């Protein structure tokens, strides 16, 4: 019975994930990275605070450790990335900020892998935006919300 439970938990948490620091500690670290460390044009305040109180003004977020970018088995000598996915919602938009916070633990300079914003309504080419820069997030959200407003008027 314990073996079956272990396999279920191991599979659900991602067999390709690196042995990593405690998720709660990793998420706490990511939340406290100053936005300026991730993008020089942003203020030097913790990321979680900038997302809510700064220009993005997100209404809700969920943070989780994500290691979907694990190397292929043939590249087993490469360090395993530690990423944190921030899912967020604001009015008619939702999106993801994917952060790489380290490799084989919380080591090295954190960076933004990508920023993705999408409309909560119908999917069209105009209802999805992506950027490699965190400072683009407020603009991407605004563009999606403007697209939603145009769609609602028609």
pLDDT at 13: 41
As given in the structure block, the two tokens for residue 95 are 């999106």
pLDDT at 139: 95
Q: Burial of 104 by CB count in 10 Å (0-12 exposed, 13-18 middle, 19+ buried)?
A: middle
Q: How far apart are CA 96 and CA 93, in angstroms?
A: 11
How does pLDDT run across 101-139, given as a tens digit for each residue? 988 778 889 999 999 999 987 666 568 999 999 999 999
* 18 pLDDT higher than 80: no
Mean pLDDT score of the chain: 80
Lowest mean pLDDT, pick from 19-23, 58-62, 104-108, 150-154:
150-154
* 34 pLDDT higher than 80: yes
Local confidence band at 20 (pLDDT 50, 70, 90 cut-offs): very low
Q: Are 50 and 112 in contact (CB under 8 A)?
A: no
Domain ranges of the chain: 2-153
């Amino acid at each position: 019975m314990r073996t079956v439970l272990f396999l279920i938990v191991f599979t659900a948490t991602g067999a390709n994930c690196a042995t990593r620091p405690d998720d709660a500690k990793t998420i706490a670290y990511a939340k406290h990275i100053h936005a300026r460390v991730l993008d020089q044009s942003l203020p030097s305040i913790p990321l979680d605070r900038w997302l809510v109180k700064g220009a993005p003004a997100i209404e809700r977020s969920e943070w989780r450790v994500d290691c979907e970018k694990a190397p292929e088995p043939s590249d087993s000598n490469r360090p395993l990335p530690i990423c944190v996915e921030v899912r967020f919602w604001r009015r008619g938009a939702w999106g993801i900020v994917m952060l790489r916070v380290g490799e084989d633990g919380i080591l090295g300079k954190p960076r933004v892998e990508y920023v993705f914003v999408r409309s909560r309504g119908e999917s069209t080419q105009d209802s999805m935006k992506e950027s490699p820069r965190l400072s683009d997030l407020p603009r991407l959200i605004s563009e999606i919300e403007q697209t939603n407003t145009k769609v609602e008027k028609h």
